[in-house]
């Protein structure tokens, strides 16, 4: 309680505002005057960092006009040792020196990637992209953080987006990344919320000591229409959405794994209860008892995964969805186009890749392998049937056996994923696992996957105007063991996944679906460098798969 007593003491005093002697505007923005109708335009990492270094600007209006990458390895970036914007600037006569951010920051649908904040000063408070946002008129909206990494050694308030928040936070999110605090008030998006958070979500990993939550560590404000899939670990007052709740949480859910010692809850670790002029409450909120590992919560209703992925669960609770009017016209939530949890209506959902071809090799006899997803049934040449990873497999002799999957254009989509199991035997030298090439000119390839003598995998893919790109795996596919292999082309990167984990990737420019190319398994067009061993469960999707999707393909028993 000593710690909390100190906390209250410094919270209830007005911080001394740092005096800034200079009044000149040193920052060159991409445009704007900082007024509400003409916000400063931020187009570069340098402009964002410059804003953070000039407290004179903290009451102005800003709009992002580009996605920004704060990767500390890029020129002009760094690992920050305190919040980027509105940090503490030191302690004077026992009080923290800080200027609150009181302006408006509109992310404009853009993202800030790879924030790296490593605060190792025990006297440092309020760590995140923003540190101290403490004004009822302050607003942060329409901003996404991608893979933020925030560490705070100090006593209070660590979040990816903001350490301490009072104001309005709308339609913001943090995807991936980590927020780690040595002490209390640690949240996936905000450490300490005393304002309004509306339509926000977080998906990363959160760890702290006390008041630790997937979205918010300690809540003294209103949280409405938000969710968290973050996994959370802590000691005291630990929750999937909020660690400690002292106000109101409405229409929210959480699904992340939650682990802690005392006051641990699937949705909320501890609720203050009524008193202090208001009652704290969790209204129409849900958590997943299966994925959280928690059957208890200080608030909300615990449900199974199946129940959490049914629209009726939320519609019955009065949540305002698109395509319905009974619960309201504001259309805040939607169900994803595939199986899953509700999403915020403003979220862009990439189209789910569809399975366009699937050779299971479960036939056990005959010389045709059925395509169970499409009609590209494959002709088997000198192969044998064998026991596979899932049911049967095709056995190749490394000498003259191959599988001809035909020349359908569907087998070479512009964006794609190709996945399979393989159990190689000794071959000597580079051998083709698959090739898609011109039959009459086998140097004219669309894509190939090869395995070299020591087991590395190489994926080569044609580009539109440039030569083909190549990705080589670091991991190997050992002899006489089943390995899961997947390759992805996602529109900008060519990637290899080994056993469900991203292994290697490289940029590529552009590709188009190519007519007249033939897909052959285990050889280059059935004429050379034949693969020896088994192959099972070959799948082609017409778009990239997420790492989670690939991981579940690689773990069929899970």
Q: 261, 207, 264, 185: which is closest to 3 by C-alpha?
A: 185
Which pairs count as long-range contacts for 39-47, CB under 8 Å and 24+ apart, including other chains? Answer: 39/63, 39/104, 39/106, 41/65, 42/66, 42/68, 44/68, 45/69, 45/70, 45/74, 45/76, 45/77, 46/76
In the complex, minimum distance from the CB of residue 518 to Ca ion, in angstroms, rounded to a whole number: 23
Determine the length of the chain: 558
In the complex, minimum distance from the CB of residue 421 to Ca ion, in angstroms, rounded to a whole number: 8
Residue 319 sits in the site that holds Ca ion (CB under 5 A): no
Q: Which stretch binds Ca ion (CB under 5 A): 292-300, 363-371, 457-465, 528-536?
A: 528-536
Contact 469, 488 (CB under 8 A): no
Residue 342 sits in the site that holds Ca ion (CB under 5 A): no
Residue owning tokens 């254009």: 409
Residue 331 sits in the site that holds Ca ion (CB under 5 A): yes
Residue 388 sits in the site that holds Ca ion (CB under 5 A): yes
In the complex, minimum distance from the CB of residue 394 to Ca ion, in angstroms, rounded to a whole number: 9
Residue 46 sits in the site that holds Ca ion (CB under 5 A): no
Q: Which stretch binds Ca ion (CB under 5 A): 53-61, 108-116, 261-269, 331-339?
A: 331-339
In the complex, minimum distance from the CB of residue 332 to Ca ion, in angstroms, rounded to a whole number: 8
Q: Site for Ca ion (CB under 5 A): which residue of 183, 371, 536, 549?
A: 536
Residue 362 sits in the site that holds Ca ion (CB under 5 A): yes
Nearer to Ca ion, 60 or 360 (CB): 360
The Cα 499–Cα 483 span in angstroms is: 6
Residue 320 sits in the site that holds Ca ion (CB under 5 A): yes
Compute φ and ψ for 519, nearest 5 degrees: -95, 125
Residue 76 sits in the site that holds Ca ion (CB under 5 A): no
Q: Which stretch binds Ca ion (CB under 5 A): 200-208, 210-218, 307-315, 392-400?
A: 392-400
Contact 183, 208 (CB under 8 A): yes
Residue 175 sits in the site that holds Ca ion (CB under 5 A): no
In the complex, minimum distance from the CB of residue 330 to Ca ion, in angstroms, rounded to a whole number: 6
Q: Site for Ca ion (CB under 5 A): which residue of 360, 431, 511, 539?
A: 360
In the complex, minimum distance from the CB of residue 371 to Ca ion, in angstroms, rounded to a whole number: 13
Q: Site for Ca ion (CB under 5 A): which residue of 373, 390, 442, 476?
A: 390
Q: Which stretch binds Ca ion (CB under 5 A): 22-30, 128-136, 385-393, 433-441?
A: 385-393
Residues in contact with 214: Cβ distance below 8 Å, sequence separation at least 6, in sequence order: 187, 188, 202, 206, 228, 229, 230, 231, 232, 239, 240, 241, 242, 254, 256, 258
In the complex, minimum distance from the CB of residue 359 to Ca ion, in angstroms, rounded to a whole number: 8
Nearer to Ca ion, 323 or 440 (CB): 323
Q: Site for Ca ion (CB under 5 A): which residue of 391, 478, 516, 556?
A: 391
Give the number of other Cβ atoms within 10 Å of residue 273's Cβ. Answer: 12
Q: 508, 343, 522, 347: which is closest to 431 by C-alpha?
A: 522
Contact 210, 180 (CB under 8 A): no
Which pairs count as long-range contacts for 502-508, CB under 8 Å and 24+ apart, including other chains? Answer: 502/547, 503/457, 503/473, 503/474, 503/475, 504/471, 504/472, 504/473, 504/474, 505/471, 506/469, 506/470, 506/471, 507/469, 508/461, 508/463, 508/469
By CB under 5 A, the residues from 82 to 101 that bind Ca ion are none
Count of residues in contact with Ca ion, rule CB under 5 A: 12
Interface residues toward Ca ion, by CB under 5 A? 320, 324, 331, 360-362, 388, 390-392, 536-537
């Amino acid at each position: 309680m000593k710690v909390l007593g100190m906390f209250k003491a410094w919270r209830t005093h007005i911080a001394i505002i740092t005096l800034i002697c200079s009044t000149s505007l040193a920052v060159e923005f991409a445009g704007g005057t900082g007024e509400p109708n003409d916000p400063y335009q931020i187009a570069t990492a340098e402009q964002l960092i410059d804003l953070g270094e000039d407290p004179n600007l903290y009451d102005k209006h800003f709009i992002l006009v580009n996605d920004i990458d704060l990767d500390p390895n890029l020129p002009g970036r760094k690992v920050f040792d305190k919040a980027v914007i509105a940090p503490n600037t030191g302690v004077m006569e026992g009080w923290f020196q800080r200027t609150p951010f009181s302006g408006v920051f509109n992310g404009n649908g853009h993202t800030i990637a790879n924030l790296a904040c490593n605060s190792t000063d025990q006297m440092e408070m309020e760590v995140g992209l923003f540190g101290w946002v403490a004004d009822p008129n302050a607003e942060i909206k329409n901003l996404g953080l991608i893979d933020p990494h925030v560490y705070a050694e100090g006593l209070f308030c660590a979040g990816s987006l903001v350490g301490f928040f009072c104001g309005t936070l709308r339609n913001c999110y943090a995807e991936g990344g980590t927020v780690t605090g040595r002490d209390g008030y640690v949240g996936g998006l905000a450490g300490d919320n005393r304002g309004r958070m509306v339509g926000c979500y977080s998906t990363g990993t959160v760890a702290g000591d006390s008041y630790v939550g997937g979205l918010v560590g300690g809540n003294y404000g209103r949280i409405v229409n938000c969710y968290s899939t973050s996994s959370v670990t802590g000691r005291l007052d630990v929750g999937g959405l909020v660690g400690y709740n002292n106000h109101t949480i409405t229409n929210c859910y959480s699904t992340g794994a939650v682990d802690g010692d005392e006051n641990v809850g699937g949705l909320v670790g501890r609720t203050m209860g009524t008193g202090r002029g208001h009652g704290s409450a969790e209204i129409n909120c849900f958590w997943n008892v299966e994925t959280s590992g928690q059957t208890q919560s200080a608030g909300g209703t615990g449900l199974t995964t199946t129940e959490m992925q049914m629209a009726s669960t939320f519609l019955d609770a009065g949540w305002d969805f698109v395509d319905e009017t009974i619960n309201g016209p504001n259309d805040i939530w939607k169900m994803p186009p595939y199986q899953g949890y509700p999403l915020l209506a403003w979220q862009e959902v990439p189209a789910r890749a569809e399975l366009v071809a699937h050779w299971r090799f479960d036939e056990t006899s005959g010389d045709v392998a059925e395509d169970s997803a499409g009609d590209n049934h494959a002709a088997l040449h000198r192969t044998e049937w064998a026991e596979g990873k899932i049911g049967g497999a095709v056995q190749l002799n490394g000498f003259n056996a191959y599988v001809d999957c035909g020349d359908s254009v569907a087998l070479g989509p512009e964006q794609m994923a190709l996945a399979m199991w393989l159990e190689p035997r000794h071959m000597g030298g580079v051998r083709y696992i698959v090739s898609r090439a011109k039959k009459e000119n086998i140097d004219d390839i669309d894509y190939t996957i090869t395995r070299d003598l020591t087991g590395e995998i190489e994926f080569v893919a044609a580009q539109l105007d440039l030569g083909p790109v190549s990705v080589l795996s670091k991991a190997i596919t050992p002899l006489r063991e089943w390995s899961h292999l997947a390759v992805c082309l996602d529109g900008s990167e060519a990637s290899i996944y080994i056993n469900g984990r991203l292994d290697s990737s490289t940029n590529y420019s552009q590709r188009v679906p190519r007519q007249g190319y033939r897909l052959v398994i285990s050889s280059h067009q059935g004429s050379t460098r034949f693969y020896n061993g088994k192959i099972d469960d070959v799948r082609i999707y017409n778009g990239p798969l997420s790492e989670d999707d690939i991981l579940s393909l690689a773990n069929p028993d899970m």
